[in-house]
Structure formats: structure tokens, C-alpha cells
Amino acid sequence: MDTQSAGSGEAEGRLLYLAEHLAELHASPDMRWLAGRFEFLGEKVLGATLTLLALPDERGAFRVAASASPRPASAHDARTALGIDALAGNTAAAKAFVAAETSGRPMTVRLADLFPAADSAGAGIEAIVAPLLCDREFLGVGLFAVDASPLGGQIAAVLASNAAVAISQIREREDARRLHSVDPRLWVPDDHFLLEQFEREVNRARRYGRQVGLALLRLENEDAVRARFGDFFTDHLLRRIGSQLLASVRDSDVLGALDGAYAVIHTETSQAGTQLSAGRLRDAAVGMVRQRFPEVPEARISVRAVSYPATAGSVEELVARLTAADAEEAAA
């Protein structure tokens, strides 16, 4: 193997290792852990790669994400030497962050320009300032102390992308916690909540002689997407679909999880109406995937519907028929 091939293989291996370990960020419970985790990975894998994580506060001013976790020695020394812990009054750094936000692209900077008090060893380092973007939404800025080289740019891009997804998922999780109970995979109300609401709606429909529908929406090609793009990407996709459905359902309808898929209770709606309404929800979700996840060739979301009293007279039978029909269709 020649030297160039060996170097290329080593670089690819380092990036794969980094990407695999950053997938753990989706489980991070808070920002303090997130910052600490990045510092650990930077020290362990790439030598304090992420030097700084800056997030805009409610006024839009950038603040440094601090970590309560112990910092590795080299990361601690870097922050001390550069004066990162006292960044609030650093005008040059703030301008660089705003420039990265405005351009939407990574920028090469000299640490000496951002941190005039840096020692001579650190002053000559060129770093990368990159915006953290998730689904084209700006979330913050990362300062990466890596060589301004093609490989350094790749490393910064991987870190910035995963940091943005992690921050977005932390925020979504906090929003989801405001719901009664949450399905950990889809981030919509869980099956216990959904079935409780469906029981209530069926009883109300029985009492007043009305109808109620239940639809099941499932990403049929989830396994193919997961095999191609990995768990981290697919989990984020599923949660984004859940967020889209939450934003699209009527105020009178209820969204939740059922049998590993998204389920919607359509109040005072026939089976045909439920199928039609759920089809519109599917179209909205598919449109969102096309816009925000262009890497995915096609999101195949199936729709099944049942209704009381046309399909069955009890909640148990309605759910059994819906999930059995869905399973039969998937196996066909």
C-alpha cells in the first residue's frame, strides 16, 4: 500500500470513528453534558478539536456553552491560554461568530486575531469557525482548533453537523417533555396516552351516536433508510416526521404512537374521512422530508384507517384490525 493510500485510509477511519461516537450525542440530557462530551471526544480522538461552542441567547447575543464536567488537561489549558472563559467581552470573536452566521459557511481564522492575549504557540494556529445548522436552522457556532486543511475542514464539518443535530434534539426533547408521556423513538405521545384518549372518544361516540376514526401512518422503508444512513440519521428523521405531524393535525384530533408507528384519532369522522385526512397528513410529512432531507430518495409512508362503529364496536377490536391489516399489507 502506498503512503497516500495509507494516509487516506487513516483519515477515513478517524472520521468514521468520530461519527460513530458522536451518534451518542442524541442521548445527551442537557447542554452541560453536550459540551463536556465534545471536550472529551476532542481530547480522546483529535486533540481538543472543538475549542468553543457558542450559542445565541434569547436576545441573539452569543454565549459560551460551559460544562460542569471536568475538562481534559489539554482542553483546560487551551481555554485558559486563549482566554475563552472570559469571552463575554471579546468583540473580535463576536464579530467572527456573526460573520459565520451571516455567511452560513465555515471560515478560517487566526486564533491570534480572536484572542490577542494568546501565547506565541497558540497565536499562530489557524482555526475554523463553523455555523451549526440543522434543517437549515441556525443554532450556534463552533470554533474548531484544527488545521485549516481539507482534512481539518472535514473534521469540523462532521463535528458541526452532529453538534447541530444534538442541540436540536435536546430542544425537541424538552418540548416533548411538556406532553403527558413520550414515545422515545418517535417523540410523540406514547401508546398509553393514545389508547386512553381513543377509549374516551369511542365512549363519547357511542353515547351520542357519532363516529370516530383511527389512522396509522408508518414509514415503510425505515429499514432501508436505516441501513443506508445509519441509526442517528434515521432517528432524527422519525422525530422530524413526528414534529411535522404534530404541527399538521387538526386541533380536535389526537396524535400518538401505536405499534411502532404514528397514530391519529380523528374525532367525529367516518372511515373514508379518516383515510382522506390521514392521507393529507402523510402528504405533508412526505413534503417535509423532500425539503429537509434531500438525501432520502423517497419516504414511503403508508396509511391505514378504521372507524367506530363501521369497522368494529370496541377499542380492542379496532386496534387489532388496524395493526393486523397494517402488518398483512407490510408482509405482502
* Structural domain spans, the chain: 3-177, 191-331
Which of 23-37, 123-137, 145-159 reaches the highest mean pLDDT? Answer: 123-137
The single-letter DSSP state of residue 47 is: S
What's residue 100's pLDDT? Answer: 87
Amino acid at 290: R
Contacts of 248 (CB under 8 A, 6+ apart): 280, 281, 284, 285
Say what the pTM is: 0.52
Instruction: Quote the cell numbers at residue 255.
Output: 396524535
**Burial, 15: exposed, middle or buried (Cβ in 10 Å; 0-12, 13-18, 19+)?**
middle
Residues 6+ apart with CB under 8 A from 2: none
Task: Give CA–CA dist 187/207, Å, rounded.
Answer: 32
| The pLDDT of residue 185 is above 60 | yes
Q: Are 186 and 242 in contact (CB under 8 A)?
A: yes
Burial class from Cβ neighbours inside 10 Å (0-12, 13-18, 19+) for residue 129 reads: buried
SS3 70: coil
Q: What is the mean pLDDT of the chain?
A: 75
**Amino acid present at 211:** Q
Kindly report whether the peptide bond that precedes residue 70 is cis, defined as omega within 30 degrees of 0.
Answer: no
Provide the percentage of residues in the chain whose pLDDT is more than 70: 66
Q: What CATH fold (topology level) applies to the domain 191-331?
A: Alpha-Beta Plaits (3.30.70)
Confidence of residue 27 (pLDDT cuts 50, 70, 90): very low
Q: Do 191-331 and 3-177 have the same topology in CATH?
A: no
Query: Among 143, 147, 153, which residue's Cα sits nearest to residue 51?
Result: 143
Task: Give the residue from 328, 330, 192 showing the smallest Cα distance to 254.
Answer: 192
Question: 3-177 belongs to which homologous superfamily?
Answer: GAF domain (3.30.450.40)
